[in-house]
Amino acid sequence: MTHGRNSSRRTAGWGGIYRGHRARVGERLAEMGIFVVSLSAIALIFLIFLFVGREAWPILIQSDSVNSAAVQDVIPAVDLPKLSPEQIRAYLGIDAAQLDRMDSETIRELMLVREEAFASLPQSLQRDPDARLNTVRWRSLILPHQWAGYSRPEFIWQPIGEIHKYNIVPLLVGSLKTSLIGLAFAVPFALGAAIYVSQIARPRLREWLKPAVELLSGIPSVVMGSFALIVMATVLQRFFGYETRLNAFVAGIALGMAVIPIVFSIAEDALTSVPRSFIQAALALGASEWQAAWQIALPAALPGVFAGVVLGFGRAVGETMIVLLVCSASVMSWNIFDSARSITTTIAAEMAEAVAGNHHYRVLFLLGTILFAVTFVTNLLGDIFIHRLKRRLEGKQ
């Protein structure tokens, strides 16, 4: 603030610090401390990316150390002398440091254990070609697969049972489906309310309408979720008459209620920031209030409104508890009255069962990485739109 007027001319010092006077050592040290602490937000973004990505790393590089196949090829223990260290590591799924610590006797023991484990598997599984499939390869993660017992290739997420099926497409569809239903419900209401509050309502009404709508954002998502589960699901079913009581539609509506305050706040801010003179000019030329709002204020504020929708989408995709409470079966279907399982729900529901470090655990972190990447992009887009709105309203188009 204080330096805002002249800082552009004067060069800032170390760490962008502008002080305007000479300082003693202690003060300089304190300033360095302030600078270093202020980098924490940047550091945290990096750390999140690093540590969520680190757990998913073996899958991202498709390392041999993660293998989710129910039946794995067995190398007889007597063949140990013929194997190179790399082959042993890949076979036993261990890293170089672990291998160094083992003597050949331990390795032979481990190989024997593998042989016994194979022998103890049921015959049907030993012969099943699907059981030898490493389901964390990109091919299995993304493409449909013709599983035994199914009539055609299918996308299946089923991390339990003998064969772990890790196709992430149903989860992506689930996330998209619920978020889009939520947005389709939230945007008309939020946008209508934003136009009403910013352009049409009287100032005195406006003063309490805005905080009242924003009160909705103070409701924790777990409360919204359990309300949807217990009250809304029944009401909506009676109203629309579909079969399954808990489905993506109910989850989407509840998500929409959680997203309304976000879209509303950002769109309302954008509409309010349109210079009053624009509206007054339109009204003076004989336009009605609605015409001024729809044809003048809304186009001027469009980037901001867009930012609201994009950030609302980001919030809906990242929301966990609502979908977790309302529906959980992972079915590959675009029908809005079917169940759906989103990415967030899957992580929340399955993390507790996953053994740290195994394939299931790593796939869940992969989902987290995807989620982080998606919201990173939506946040960036939202920022760009808001920036564009500012430039437009300042006349620098």
- Span 312-331, contacts to another protein by CB under 8 A: 314-315, 317-321, 324-325
Q: Is 113 in the site for another protein (CB under 8 A)?
A: no
Interface mask toward another protein for 130-169; x: CB under 8 A: ----------------------------------------
Beta bridge partners of 165: 158
Residue 142 vs 219, nearer CB to another protein: 219
**In angstroms, how far is CA 113 from the centroid of its own chain?**
40
Q: Contact with another protein (CB under 8 A): which of 58, 159, 170, 368?
A: 368
Number of residues in contact with another protein under rule CB under 8 A:
110
Residue 125 vs 349, nearer CB to another protein: 349
Query: ∠ CA 359-363-369 to the nearest 5 degrees?
Result: 145
- In angstroms, what is the minimal distance from the CB of 121 to another protein? 31
d(CA 383, CA 379): 6
- In angstroms, what is the minimal distance from the CB of 105 to another protein? 26
Q: Is 55 in the site for another protein (CB under 8 A)?
A: yes
Range 210-239, binding another protein (CB under 8 A): 211-213, 215-216, 218-227, 229-231
Residue 116 vs 353, nearer CB to another protein: 353
Residue 152 vs 276, nearer CB to another protein: 276
Q: Is 257 in the site for another protein (CB under 8 A)?
A: yes
Range 332-351, binding another protein (CB under 8 A): 344, 347-348, 351
Long-range contacts, stretch 198-207, CB < 8 angstroms, 24+ apart: 198/268, 198/271, 198/272, 198/297, 199/271, 199/279, 199/289, 199/292, 199/293, 199/297, 200/289, 200/290, 200/293
DSSP assignment of 130-156 equals GGG--TTSHHHHHS-B--TT-SS-B--
Range 181-210, binding another protein (CB under 8 A): 188-193, 195-197, 200-203, 209
Q: Is 352 in the site for another protein (CB under 8 A)?
A: yes
DSSP assignment of 79-120 equals GGGG--HHHHHHHHT--HHHHHH--HHHHHHHHHHHHHHHHH
Determine if residue 95 is left, alpha or beta; phi over 0 gives left, psi from -120 to 50 gives alpha, anything else beta: beta
Helices 203-214 & 248-272 angle (0-180, nearest 10)? 140
Q: What is the dihedral of CA 51, 57, 59, 63, to 10 degrees?
A: -150
Residue 91 vs 361, nearer CB to another protein: 361
Residue 44 vs 160, nearer CB to another protein: 44
- In angstroms, what is the minimal distance from the CB of 348 to another protein? 6
Q: Is 260 in the site for another protein (CB under 8 A)?
A: yes
Q: Is 112 in the site for another protein (CB under 8 A)?
A: no
Q: If we measure between CA atoms, which residue out of 169, 126, 389 comes closest to residue 267?
A: 389
- In angstroms, what is the minimal distance from the CB of 25 to another protein? 12
